[in-house]
């Protein structure tokens, strides 16, 4: 047995898998329907296990018999091209994992406090309904019902002192459809309300089944905040009757920011809010690249973090996003694998900063597929912190 070649073949298999994963992540970032995406997923599901077997047979056991010999130079041009692509995929895998560890924390994240609540334990049973994919919810070690309640202190460089310690409850991606029972969302919202936020912001994907819209009053609509409740919708809402979803939330007093800009006042300070449901619905906010007043707090809501750089370009102080669910499954030492984004897993979840712009990406409350490993669902209270005079001097 040539163990050196066995190692290199394993690297090529990892590279092949990385290429398929990268392709699927980016396809899911496009405004394609679920039926179209399902066809690509079938190809993915077939290629991931079968191509490595073909490689083992065609390279390792027959042909150049690399498991026994060192005959890389005898590879045909077709195999050379295929192996070169897989090698590029492996380099992409190494880069992705390295970046995951280097970008996990941003200096703008000043403090993180977390508590985990086991909703199944609180309710006395797993809150699983009769919806689709319910078999996934029963899998052992599934963390779907362990909600993480976070409080994150974020440094917002141009935040007015009057807004120092302002709190925003960021909640996203409930995906209510009946698989995860109504009681789960009711308990999550009850726990979230105990965080006593100044503002509530929801960043899309409320439903996966229209029937679950009847749950809205006993779930998200139980959230309240003195400075208002704001929302945008997501791609799963777009697949349903998004106008009915939108009007239901508006009639309950939630303020729709999908494709809109709103100038309001919080604590006697001007705040500019804008939302984007691109690429599925509406458009970006009609913002100039520079704020009309540097003392105005500008917050950009986008369902997908793919438009983070749009927020940076348009002088957003804070970008709030969801959609990627943190990957839902995180492999130890590797991190997330699947993330429906143009940037792959780069912005799967967490806090990021670029210049004076800070972005928070929520892992979401649930998903169409109720499966979570090393990636608990979350609700986050963001505490905005102003940069003090001492901080400014220290950064000069």
What's the pLDDT at 105?
Answer: 67
> 5, 70 in Cβ contact below 8 A?
yes
Give SS3 for 15: helix
What's the pLDDT at 388?
Answer: 60
> 329, 336 in Cβ contact below 8 A?
yes
Crossing angle of the two packed helices 3-27 and 77-102, in degrees rounded to 10: 70
Tell me how crowded residue 295 is: count the other CB atoms within 10 A of its CB.
13
Going from N- to C-terminal start, the domains of the chain cover 3-102, 109-395
What's the pLDDT at 99?
Answer: 83
Distance in angstroms (rounded) separating the CA atoms of residues 95 and 234: 30
User: What sections of 103-170 are H helices per DSSP?
Assistant: 119-123, 134-137
User: What sections of the chain are H helices per DSSP?
Assistant: 3-27, 34-55, 77-102, 119-123, 134-137, 182-193, 235-238, 242-251, 308-313, 389-395
What's the pLDDT at 304?
Answer: 97
For 109-395, give the CATH class: alpha beta
Distance in angstroms (rounded) separating the CA atoms of residues 5 and 86: 15
What's the pLDDT at 248?
Answer: 97
For residue 71, what are the CA distances in angstroms to 46, 78, 85? Answer: 29, 15, 19
| Per-residue pLDDT tens digits of the chain, which is 396 residues long | 888 999 999 999 999 999 999 999 999 999 988 788 889 999 999 999 999 999 999 998 998 888 998 888 889 999 999 999 999 999 999 998 888 777 766 789 999 999 999 999 999 999 999 888 999 999 999 999 999 999 999 999 999 999 999 999 999 999 999 999 999 999 999 999 999 999 999 999 999 999 999 999 999 999 999 999 999 999 999 999 999 999 999 999 999 999 999 999 999 999 999 999 999 998 999 999 988 888 899 999 999 999 999 999 999 999 999 999 999 999 988 889 999 999 999 999 999 999 999 999 999 999 999 999 999 999 999 999 997 643 543 443
**For the whole prediction, is pTM greater than 0.75?**
yes
> 386, 372 in Cβ contact below 8 A?
no
Distance in angstroms (rounded) separating the CA atoms of residues 372 and 116: 14
What's the pLDDT at 252?
Answer: 97
What's the pLDDT at 292?
Answer: 81
Residues 6+ apart with CB under 8 A from 367: 173, 175, 325, 328
Closest CA to 200 of 248, 252, 160: 252
């Amino acid at each position: 047995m040539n163990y050196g070649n066995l190692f290199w073949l394993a690297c090529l298999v990892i590279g092949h898998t990385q290429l398929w994963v990268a392709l699927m992540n980016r396809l899911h970032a496009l405004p394609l329907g679920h039926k179209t995406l399902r066809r690509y997923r079938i190809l993915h599901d077939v290629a991931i296990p079968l191509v490595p077997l073909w490689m083992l047979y065609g390279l390792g056991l027959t042909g150049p018999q690399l498991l026994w010999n060192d005959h890389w130079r005898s590879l045909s041009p077709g195999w050379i091209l295929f192996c070169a692509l897989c090698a590029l995929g492996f380099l992409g895998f190494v880069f992705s994992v390295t970046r995951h560890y280097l970008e996990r924390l941003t200096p703008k994240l000043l403090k993180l406090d977390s508590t985990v609540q086991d909703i199944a334990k609180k309710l006395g049973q797993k809150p699983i309904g009769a919806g689709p994919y319910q078999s996934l919810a029963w899998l052992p070690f599934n963390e779907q019902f362990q909600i993480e309640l976070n409080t994150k202190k974020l440094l917002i460089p141009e935040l007015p002192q009057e807004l120092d310690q302002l709190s925003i409850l960021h909640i996203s991606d409930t995906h209510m459809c009946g698989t995860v029972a109504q009681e789960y969302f009711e308990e999550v919202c009850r726990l979230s309300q105990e965080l006593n936020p100044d503002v509530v912001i929801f960043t899309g994907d409320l439903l996966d089944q229209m029937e679950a819209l009847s749950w809205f009053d006993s779930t998200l609509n139980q959230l309240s905040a003195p400075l208002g409740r704001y929302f945008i919708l997501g791609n799963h809402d777009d697949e349903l009757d998004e106008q009915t979803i939108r009007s239901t939330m508006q009639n309950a007093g939630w303020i729709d920011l999908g494709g809109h800009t709103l100038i309001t006042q919080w604590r006697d300070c001007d705040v500019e809010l804008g939302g984007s449901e691109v690429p599925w619905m509406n458009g970006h906010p009609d913002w100039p690249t520079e704020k009309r007043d540097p003392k105005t707090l500008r917050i950009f809501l986008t369902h997908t973090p793919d438009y983070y750089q749009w927020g940076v370009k348009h002088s957003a102080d804070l970008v709030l996003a969801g959609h990627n669910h943190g990957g839902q499954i995180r492999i130890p030492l590797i991190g997330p694998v699947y993330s429906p984004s143009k940037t792959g897993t780069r912005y799967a979840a967490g806090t990021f900063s670029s210049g004076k712009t800070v972005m928070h990406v929520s892992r979401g409350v649930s998903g169409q597929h109720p499966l979570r490993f090393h990636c608990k669902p979350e609700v986050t209270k963001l505490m905005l912190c102003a940069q003090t005079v001492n901080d400014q001097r220290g950064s000069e």
